[in-house]
A and B are shown apart, each in its own frame.
Chain A
Amino acid sequence: AQSVSQHNHHVILSEAASLELGCNYSYGGTVNLFWYVQYPGQHLQLLLKYFSGDPLVKGIKGFEAEFIKSKFSFNLRKPSVQWSDTAEYFCAVNPGYSSASKIIFGSGTRLSIRP
Chain B
Amino acid sequence: DTAVSQTPKYLVTQMGNDKSIKCEQNLGHDTMYWYKQDSKKFLKIMFSYNNKELIINETVPNRFSPKSPDKAHLNLHINSLELGDSAVYFCASSQEFNEQFFGPGTRLTVL
A73 interface residue per 8 A CB criterion: no
With a CB–CB cut-off of 8 A, which chain B residues contact A97? 97
B34 interface residue per 8 A CB criterion: no
Given A34-B99, A43-B103: A102 in contact with B90 (beta carbons within 8 A): no
With a CB–CB cut-off of 8 A, which chain A residues contact B94? 99
For chain B residues 40-71, which have a beta carbon within 8 Å of chain A?
40-43, 45, 48, 50, 55-56
Taking a contact as CB atoms under 8 Å apart, the answer to whether B105 and A32 are in contact is: no
Taking a contact as CB atoms under 8 Å apart, the answer to whether B42 and A108 are in contact is: yes
Taken together as a complex, chains A and B put the C-alpha atoms of A20 and B102 apart, in Å, by 25
Taking a contact as CB atoms under 8 Å apart, the answer to whether B45 and A42 are in contact is: no
Taking a contact as CB atoms under 8 Å apart, the answer to whether A103 and B45 are in contact is: yes
With a CB–CB cut-off of 8 A, which chain B residues contact A108? 41-43
CB distance from A17 to the nearest CB of B (A): 22
Interface on B for A, CB 8 Å cutoff? 30-31, 40-43, 45, 48, 50, 55-56, 90, 92, 94-97, 99-105
Other than A101-B97, A103-B100, A108-B43, give 6 A-B pairs with Cβ distance below 8 A.
A32-B97, A42-B104, A98-B97, A99-B48, A99-B55, A100-B50
A and B contact pairs by CB, cutoff 8 A, 28 listed:
A34-B99, A36-B102, A43-B103, A43-B104, A43-B105, A44-B92, A44-B100, A45-B102, A46-B100, A49-B99, A88-B41, A94-B97, A98-B97, A99-B30, A99-B48, A99-B50, A99-B95, A99-B96, A99-B97, A100-B48, A100-B56, A101-B97, A103-B45, A105-B43, A107-B40, A107-B42, A108-B41, A108-B43
